[in-house]
Structure 1
Amino acid sequence: MNPVHLQTLLAIVDEGSFEYAAATLGVSPSAVSQRIKALERHVGRVLVRRTGRTTATEAGEILVQAARRMALLQDETNAQLSGRLERVPLSVAVNADSLATWFRPVLADVAAFGNATLRLRIEDESHTLALLRRGDVLGAITREATPVSGCQATALGSMYYRAVATPQLREAYTFDGEIDWAHLPALRFGPNDTLQDVDLQGRLDAAVRRRRVISQIPSSEGFLEAARAGLGWALVPELQASPLLESGELVALDDTVAEVALYWQCWRLESELLEKLSQAVTKAAGVVPDSGMAQGF
């Protein structure tokens, strides 16, 4: 299989179009198209969907995974040969709450590598694994404990969430000592954010949950600010909620604590940088090496 054709496929998936891939590779769009057609003829499968943003088909995803593995090893080799003057891109899928809290030391660790860059994809922890399966990233923070084929999984511990709101908002929607969950305005990070729905299953039936007043705030920092502003109630990581609960700026709506177990999944590959990245992630999460136990966040 022609490595140039695989590199071209990877560029198309990363850039989202034949034209942008051509600009990245320094060739014409026609050359990109010819390379992909040649690769598709070679494997006998359609590899990319050409409508809207260009994406890989199921067969294409298999080749994207192979291409990204090859690219990582080649970039590492080039960096070593050039005296670490070149930078190796490390692509990781991470949920916004982790990035805003415990994951931050990883940024400093990667900076200290001296020969790597970090390309983060922000996605809900229930959906990050899809990016790993497609070959879009080499590692992911996920809820899934079962390793994806060709990958390894490490337990990181759990994040804990509290249902919080401003005192004024809670008072406005409390009647006879009971919170009116059906009408209490709510906050959601994005369309894939299902944690709140799970939390409400014991309080409201599905039909009522769908009719709720919900504001969507796709930023961890903005999400917290929206809760502080009284725009709605929210499930907030204890790491962020604790100081606001102590100050009285926010109040807990009940004693329930939602637990989300997290795992680090990455390719099973002989790569020094990938190993160092995995160590940085597990260190940041507080995992005790070789014990199989996590201290939590």
Structure 2
Amino acid sequence: MNLNPQHLQTLLAIVDEGSFEIAAVVLGISPSAVSQRIKALEKEAGRVLVRRTSPATATDAGEVLVQAARRMALLQAETANRLRGRIDRVPLAVALNADSLATWFRPVLADVAGYGEATLQLYVEDESHTLSALRRGDVLGAVTREAGAVSGCEVIELGEMRYLAVSTPQLRDEFSHPGHVDWARMPALRYGPRDALQDGDLVERLDLGETRNRRISQIPSSEGFLEAVRVGLGWALVPDLQVAPLLEKGELVLLDDRVARVRLYWQRWRLESELLGLLSEAVIAAAGEAINTDRAELR
């Protein structure tokens, strides 16, 4: 099967932008031309590649070609860099969890700023779900809690995020008995519907059946989540990297001495790409500075 590079580029634009119309604007062609290219690609592949939904998404067969298209786009841009001495808007797509973005990942932003005209596209998702974006071909690399390598990828252990149960002193006093926190009644926070860490910890702290009719607020922002804890909206598990200053000031207190630990890994495509190599080095270095641990490449 001899696939047209223009058609693959068009498929990638539709998946990234979520619609045929916006893809047309990005590519500088008409929506009808976008539609014709995809129809031609689907005819060549012999199957439907794009779900005509809102947003438009790739089918299982389409995901295979999206991966190929993203690899091709990266290698073409790096080739242009070698020929012209510049990087032509290379998109570095990464999936990671919000807590990592709010804490140890930030130095990576500064590193990418020095990569010429490269752009960084971040997909924020719970660390237990970021690998899905890698499998679909949406991203080149992902921060994940999964040690098992996706096909065609390599895995490097980054370190361990540590989460502490905290609240305001007032909330603790209101919902505590001598030597015992009333977990069943104390208002709680979670990041979102896929917040496996918060939900799992809530279950472990309560007796069976105690979770009904509890006050649980949902705050889908790492910084907003921390602020919600600080003002007493509920107790929560918060990364020690974020909460340490507030504990020192006494604005927040520890509810117990338990530490929830989440081991993180960097999974990236096994692709001969100088730019992807630089990105991986930046991610590993940033993690090593903040969540120190021995790291080893896994196969």
TM-score, normalising length: structure 2: 0.93
2:4 corresponds in structure 1 to 2
1:235 to 231, 234, 237: 237
1:293 corresponds in structure 2 to 294
1:252 corresponds in structure 2 to 254
2:31 corresponds in structure 1 to 29
Report if the CA contact (8 A) 1:65-1:135 is conserved.
Answer: yes
Using the TM superposition, give the Cα deviation of residue 58 of structure 1 relative to its aligned residue in structure 2, in angstroms.
Answer: 0.8
Residues of 2 paired with 1:102 and 1:52: CA distance? 34
1:265 corresponds in structure 2 to 267
Residues of 1 paired with 2:31 and 2:88: CA distance? 27
Report if the CA contact (8 A) 1:184-1:233 is conserved.
Answer: yes
2:20 to 8, 15, 18: 18
Question: Measured at CA, do residues 205 and 33 of structure 1 come closer, stay the same or move farther in structure 2, by a change above 3 Å?
Answer: farther
Q: How many residues align?
A: 291
- Report whether the alignment pairs 1:136 with 2:151: no
Using the TM superposition, give the Cα deviation of residue 39 of structure 1 relative to its aligned residue in structure 2, in angstroms.
Answer: 1.0
Report if the CA contact (8 A) 2:156-2:295 is conserved.
Answer: no
Using the TM superposition, give the Cα deviation of residue 103 of structure 1 relative to its aligned residue in structure 2, in angstroms.
Answer: 0.8
2:88 to 82, 86, 89: 86
Using the TM superposition, give the Cα deviation of residue 243 of structure 1 relative to its aligned residue in structure 2, in angstroms.
Answer: 1.9
1:212 to 211, 214, 221: 214
Residues of 2 paired with 1:107 and 1:114: CA distance? 13
Report if the CA contact (8 A) 1:79-1:87 is conserved.
Answer: no
Letter paired with 1:194:
A
1:69 to 52, 68, 71: 71
Identity of aligned residues (%): 71
- Measured against aligned partners, the alpha-carbon deviations of 1:216-273 in whole angstroms (never above 9, x if no partner) come to 1111111111110001111100111122112211011111100000000011000000
Residues of 1 paired with 2:105 and 2:64: CA distance? 29
Deviates more, 1:245-254 or 1:163-172: 245-254
Where does 1:53-202 land on structure 2 (aligned, <5 Å)? 53-84=55-86, 86-202=88-204
Using the TM superposition, give the Cα deviation of residue 159 of structure 1 relative to its aligned residue in structure 2, in angstroms.
Answer: 0.4
Residues of 2 paired with 1:41 and 1:86: CA distance? 31
Over aligned residue pairs, what C-alpha RMSD do you find?
1.7
Using the TM superposition, give the Cα deviation of residue 80 of structure 1 relative to its aligned residue in structure 2, in angstroms.
Answer: 2.5
Deviates more, 1:211-220 or 1:144-153: 211-220
Deviates more, 1:252-261 or 1:210-219: 210-219
- Measured against aligned partners, the alpha-carbon deviations of 1:43-100 in whole angstroms (never above 9, x if no partner) come to 1111111122100111111110111000010111122222216331111111111111
Residues of 1 paired with 2:91 and 2:53: CA distance? 28
Residues of 2 paired with 1:267 and 1:294: CA distance? 18
Residues of 1 paired with 2:176 and 2:184: CA distance? 11
For residue 171 of structure 1, give the secondary structure of its aligned residue in structure 2: helix
Residues of 2 paired with 1:238 and 1:187: CA distance? 16
Letter paired with 2:294:
M
Using the TM superposition, give the Cα deviation of residue 17 of structure 1 relative to its aligned residue in structure 2, in angstroms.
Answer: 0.7
Residues of 1 paired with 2:208 and 2:108: CA distance? 39
Residues of 2 paired with 1:48 and 1:69: CA distance? 19
1:281 corresponds in structure 2 to 283
Report if the CA contact (8 A) 1:162-1:236 is conserved.
Answer: yes
Question: Measured at CA, do residues 69 and 210 of structure 1 come closer, stay the same or move farther in structure 2, by a change above 3 Å?
Answer: farther
Residues of 1 paired with 2:59 and 2:170: CA distance? 50
For residue 259 of structure 1, give the secondary structure of its aligned residue in structure 2: strand
For residue 235 of structure 1, give the secondary structure of its aligned residue in structure 2: strand
Residues of 2 paired with 1:205 and 1:8: CA distance? 53
Letter paired with 1:104:
R
Q: Return 5+ residue gaps in structure 1 as ranges.
A: none
